[in-house]
Structure 1
Amino acid sequence: MDVPAVIEVVSVIAAAPDRVFHLELDVDVHAESLSGSGETATTSTGHRQLALGDDVTFDARHFGVRWRMTSRITAYEPPHRFVDEQTRGPFRALHHEHRFEDLGDGHTRMTDRMTVSAPLGPLGALVTRVLLAPYLKKLLTQRAAHIKHLAEASAPPSPRSAPGS
């Protein structure tokens, strides 16, 4: 029985949920956050901001190999949540839920929860747990740090982050 790997990255960002939500749906921001892998993103609509039902195809180099994956936005609840799911690509299944919780004082808790199943039965499950899940967690953490930097650079100061507080 193939048990999927679950990866979760939680970040607290000094910006409103709406700002963080829209940065997460911007394919140019996504590509910038993973520039080390040569990531590119092409949307089905030609728009750079994703919405419900949109497909996006990512091309990147990981582990020295060129990968291509297409995902669809299958849930869209601005500014609280959206989900993208692989429709074509290297995994048997990939479900990525993005949540944005308003913490007050202009802060947002952003949670990335990715559930991934690999092909190739028990061997694929082992490779996913030992190699892919830690690597994907590193990529999600890197991307979250990029979103945090962009969101906080453009967000007005909040009482919680003001000097002397």
Structure 2
Amino acid sequence: MPVITLKTVINADIHTVFDLARNIDVHRSSMSDTEEIAIAGRTAGLIEKGETVTWKARHLGIQQILTSKIISMNRPYEFTDSMIQGAFRSMNHQHLFRIEGKTTVMTDIFEFESPFGIIGKAFNALYLSRYLKNLLEDRNRYLKHCAEST
């Protein structure tokens, strides 16, 4: 199963960063290139443990619908969302936050598994892992900008 791990250092309070990372409206804005919108479940504001959100977006030229659920939350140190319906065979995204001096270090651990067996594994290696890493890096730059602008 591919795993993408990213660390982002943000010059902002941990509570601010944590809330921005789980804010549906901020997520939608950070994904404007993919036309991502929340269409069911929690569709605005701060998502909480046990809640779901269904996203509609265009990835790789294809309209996608993905529903994820917040399966754990320890405010303001971590939350994890897990796909319960969508194009992946499985997907879990752990969001970790820690204070380091006057900064917040945000760590993403994104695990996913594509369908279609060996063909899916080849697609991951050749393209999908890089695509998803770039998507997460763009999102994190957006979150960093928002947090450091407040």
Q: What TM-score do the two structures reach when normalised by structure 1?
A: 0.88
The whole-number CA distance in structure 2 between the counterparts of 1:42 and 1:49 is 15
Q: Does structure 1 conserve the Cα–Cα contact (< 8 Å) formed by 2:77 and 2:97?
A: yes
Q: Which runs of 5+ in 1 are unaligned?
A: 155-165
Supply the distance in 1 between the matched residues of 2:97 and 2:147 (Cα, whole angstroms): 13
> Could you give the per-residue CA deviations for residues 71-108 of structure 1, whole angstroms, max 9, x where no partner exists?
00001001000000000000000010000010122x10
Spell out, residue by residue over 1:45-65, the C-alpha distance to the aligned partner (whole angstroms, 9 max, x if none): 455210000101111111111
Measured in 2, the distance between the counterparts of 1:77 and 1:16 equals 16
1:136 maps to a residue whose letter is L
RMSD between aligned residues:
1.1
Q: Percent identity, please.
A: 35
The residue aligned with 2:59 is 62
Check whether the contact 2:68–2:85 (CA below 8 A) recurs between aligned residues: yes
Residue 128 of structure 1 deviates from its aligned partner by 1.5
Superposition pairs for residues 26-65 of structure 1, below 5 Å?
A: 26-65=23-62
Change in Cα spacing, 1:141 to 1:57, as seen in structure 2 (3 Å) is same
Which position in structure 2 is the counterpart of 1:122? Answer: 118
1:71 is paired with a residue whose SS is strand
> What CA distance in whole angstroms lies between the structure 1 residues aligned with 2:50 and 2:64?
22
Aligned-pair distance for 1:123?
Answer: 0.8
* Structure-2 separation of matches of 1:39 and 1:45: 14
Cα distance in 2 for residues equivalent to 1:45 and 1:135: 26
Give the 5 Å matches for 1:64-143. 64-105=61-102, 107-143=103-139
Q: Check whether the contact 2:88–2:113 (CA below 8 A) recurs between aligned residues.
A: yes
What secondary structure does 1:101 align onto?
strand
Distance in 2 of aligned mates of 1:83 and 1:129:
24
Distance between the aligned counterparts of 1:6 and 1:124, measured in 2? Answer: 15
Give the one of 147, 150, 157 matched to 2:146.
150
State the alpha-carbon separation in 1 of the partners of residues 83 and 126 from structure 2. 21
CA distance in 2, matches of 1:15, 1:111: 15
In structure 2, runs of 5+ residues without a counterpart are: none
Q: Larger radius of gyration, structure 1 or 2?
A: 1
Amino acid in the other structure paired with 2:4: I
